[in-house]
Structure 1
Amino acid sequence: MEVGYTVASPSAKALPAADPGTVATDPLSDVLRAVKLTGALFFAVEASTPWGIEVPRTDRYAAIILPRAQHVVSYHIVLEGEGWASLPGIAPTRFQAGDILVFPHGDAYSMRSAPGGEVEYGEEATLGFFREMMAGRLPFVVQEGGGGAGRARFVCGFLGCDTRPFNPVLATLPRILVVRRPAGAQGGLLDELVALTLAEARVARAGGESIRLRLGELIFVEVVRQHLDALPEGRTGWLSGLRDPAIGRVLTAMHAEPARAWTLEALAGMAGLSRAVLAERFAQLVGCPPIHYLTLWRMQIAARLLADSPMKVAAVANEVGYASEAAFSRAFKKATGLAPAIWRARHAAATAD
């Protein structure tokens, strides 16, 4: 996994079209739906210099903002001004108006008006801030900083998602991702979503928090799409595979029909490649062979069905392409460390807490 990188956001690029013989599908939407992306917290900050905040590892605050989530992702959209973001082991990264910062992997991080500057909110103060925000005792727009002339405005989003058994989007992202948007760029979907969120926050109305959280989810999806559009040539990972014409067709086909008895030969024919070339290119971009990916994706679908539906284990097995419940159970335990029935029981216990 790469520790961090910055990409410039160009115009959108079309994803590879599905093979005419398959049912059209959208693998990115499939994954985001299967990993149960859920808005947890969303607010805006207006800061004056000097300002600074330290955010602890997500395992310290996940229980505060989204107790049932397996994982929490944070992101920030800079509306005005500039600052510096720091993670342990990575040199400080400068950000400015228009940039989008994503911290996908639960690392502790800080954001400051100047590198190495003092912070107004240390980790413990930030935990207290999250408790107050979740209790509804703070406004949507938060003021912070020392009152100096330099100003920065940004919106902060926190979302829950599943990481087990398989989240290929999260796995492909670096420890810190900065998406650079062209200076002065306005009027795109992301700007419209942010504007809607800020407008919703200005007037207290019933259901306002739910709307803001749903908008926060949409903002994150658009951030991922902009990252996908901006990926430089030569990058590896699931998103790079999705954008590759041949590998994208294979991913689309497997997502369209996950229960189909796919073979490497059939997938290679769809990609217009030899079996050897497909296997090599798929593994290079996605990180595992095609049939292994199919198994992981089937296990993610099965995990959601076991958690969210009353289907019997045999029916779940059939839904993801296993004629034998025993064979499915072995594959599921290998991927998750748990038998299907225990996975279901633990999820039920967690949601009942």
Structure 2
Amino acid sequence: MSASDPLSDVLRSVRLRGAVFFYVSCGDEWASVAPPASMLGPVVMPGAEHVIAYHLMARGDGWAAIDGAPPVRFGAGDVVLVPHGDGHSISSAPGLVPACDDGAWVHRMRNDPKPIPVTYHHGVVHPGAELPADEAAAVLVCGFIGCDVKPFNPLLGALPRLLHLRADGVGAWVAPALQQAVAECRQQRSGGSAVLERLSEMMFVDAARRYLASLDEGASGWLAALRDRHVGRALALLHERPAHAWSVDALGREVGLSRSALHERFLALLGQAPMHYLANWRIQCAAALLRQSDASVLAVAQEVGYDSEAAFSRAFKRMVGEPPATWRRRQRRATAAALGAASLADASATRADPNPGTATDAD
């Protein structure tokens, strides 16, 4: 683990997986409503614990909104993300809703080659169709990012319900890179889907970094804690050496605060005590080891700072809901099932386009 970058530690440990599913061309008036990720996730990213939707405005402009919040306008090159999985809408004007779209086509076309072209025009959706380039008032690339929530994902709760990334921000490379990758994928170039997946993940990392940089001085939460001079250093130490026999006194000495002052700073920024955070991070590290290695439960327990297998198993079950060995078996079955589903989808795509190498560069 990194000695000074807890954000990278968490991003690695929660297993980001990206995908681009829809290439959306829109007429003069258009609207689309997406259900909560808890309903859509099992269809678009089977096996992912949590799904974050995102929309890149490749051309034109529009509005994005989640329930209970004012709409946000986003223009060409902008990206909007929905980190907490809220149901949301995107449209050409605030308040527009599609005349008829029950979403059944998403289920029906889930194994079609990606990205799936979709057209919205005057309240009517045409999945599988695409407007000619010169007729589209707006073009969007819509995709999803999957990640783990359990055992411990402090980043997710630190993000807003709707995150708007402007094209003129630090990560201005995101939009053109995604558009180029989508063009390659639509031309069925080898490796196009893999490029899109990695770019989707990089876009999310960039979003987290930009949101961190934008936080006000008085902000709270995990990302704000990373910027705090003392708590940020303490978090880096806990991530660097999770197995160390830390105490609040020892941690305070390392970062230049008294025991009580460090405790209060943790509570103010994170809502939890330092040793509580450490216990959560140890279990998250243990989960990664259980997933990625064949090490015994005892070896994993010792690797993350537990003296006995029994104490570790109790802590793991308390946080995750089942013993570590049982959890490991279930995770591996789920991974095997997801790989099997991906292989079937790839086979379906190959049957749909038996000569992917013959596409030209024309869009």
- 1:295 deviates by 0.7
- The equivalent of 1:260 in structure 2 is 244
- 1:141 deviates by 5.4
- The equivalent of 1:65 in structure 2 is 44
Query: Equivalent of 1:128, from 105, 110, 114?
Result: 105
Question: Which moves more between the two structures, 290-299 or 70-79?
Answer: 70-79
- The equivalent of 1:49 in structure 2 is 28
Unaligned 5+ residue runs, structure 2?
Answer: 123-130, 338-363
> Where do 1:1-353 residues align within 5 Å?
24-119=3-98, 122=101, 124-125=102-103, 127-129=104-106, 131-132=108-109, 134-136=111-113, 142-146=118-122, 151-182=137-168, 188-191=172-175, 193-201=177-185, 203-353=187-337
Unaligned 5+ residue runs, structure 1?
Answer: 1-21
Question: Structure 1 residues 244 and 134 mapped into 2: Cα distance closer, same or farther (>3 Å)?
Answer: farther
Q: Deviations over 1:305-353 (max 9, x none)?
A: 2233211110110111111111111111111121112211222332343
Q: Deviations over 1:207-251 (max 9, x none)?
A: 211121111111111111111111222221111111222221111
Aligned length: 327
Conserved? CA contact 1:193–1:218, under 8 Å: no
Q: Deviations over 1:2-61 (max 9, x none)?
A: xxxxxxxxxxxxxxxxxxxx9734211111111111113344433222111111121222
Question: Structure 1 residues 320 and 218 mapped into 2: Cα distance closer, same or farther (>3 Å)?
Answer: same
Q: Deviations over 1:273-320 (max 9, x none)?
A: 222221111221122111111110111111222233211110110111
Question: Which moves more between the two structures, 279-288 or 39-48?
Answer: 39-48
Identity of aligned residues (%): 45
- The equivalent of 1:19 in structure 2 is none
- 1:98 deviates by 4.2
Question: Structure 1 residues 289 and 160 mapped into 2: Cα distance closer, same or farther (>3 Å)?
Answer: same
- 1:195 deviates by 4.7
Q: CA RMSD in A?
A: 2.6
Query: Equivalents in 1 of 2:5, 2:289: separation in Å?
Result: 19
Question: Which moves more between the two structures, 229-238 or 159-168?
Answer: 229-238
Of structures 1 and 2, the larger Rg is shown by: 2
Runs of 4+ in 1 over 4 A off after TM superposition: 138-142, 147-150
Conserved? CA contact 2:252–2:259, under 8 Å: yes
Query: Equivalents in 2 of 1:65, 1:25: separation in Å?
Result: 35
- The equivalent of 1:15 in structure 2 is none
Question: Structure 1 residues 327 and 186 mapped into 2: Cα distance closer, same or farther (>3 Å)?
Answer: closer
Task: Classify the secondary structure of the residue corresponding to 1:91.
Answer: coil
Task: Classify the secondary structure of the residue corresponding to 1:90.
Answer: coil
Query: Equivalents in 2 of 1:162, 1:139: separation in Å?
Result: 24
Query: Equivalents in 2 of 1:282, 1:110: separation in Å?
Result: 37
Q: TM-score, normalised by structure 1?
A: 0.84
Conserved? CA contact 2:115–2:182, under 8 Å: no
Task: Classify the secondary structure of the residue corresponding to 1:166.
Answer: coil
Q: TM-score, normalised by structure 2?
A: 0.82
Query: Equivalents in 1 of 2:330, 2:14: separation in Å?
Result: 17
Conserved? CA contact 1:53–1:120, under 8 Å: no
Question: Structure 1 residues 186 and 46 mapped into 2: Cα distance closer, same or farther (>3 Å)?
Answer: farther
Question: Structure 1 residues 352 and 24 mapped into 2: Cα distance closer, same or farther (>3 Å)?
Answer: closer
Q: Which amino acid aligns with 1:316?
A: V
Conserved? CA contact 1:53–1:121, under 8 Å: no
Question: Structure 1 residues 242 and 82 mapped into 2: Cα distance closer, same or farther (>3 Å)?
Answer: same
Q: Which amino acid aligns with 1:344?
A: R
Conserved? CA contact 2:62–2:90, under 8 Å: yes
- 1:140 deviates by 5.5
- 1:161 deviates by 0.7
Query: Equivalents in 2 of 1:63, 1:217: separation in Å?
Result: 19
Q: Which amino acid aligns with 2:161?
A: R
Task: Classify the secondary structure of the residue corresponding to 2:150.
Answer: coil
Query: Equivalents in 2 of 1:209, 1:181: separation in Å?
Result: 23
Task: Classify the secondary structure of the residue corresponding to 1:295.
Answer: helix
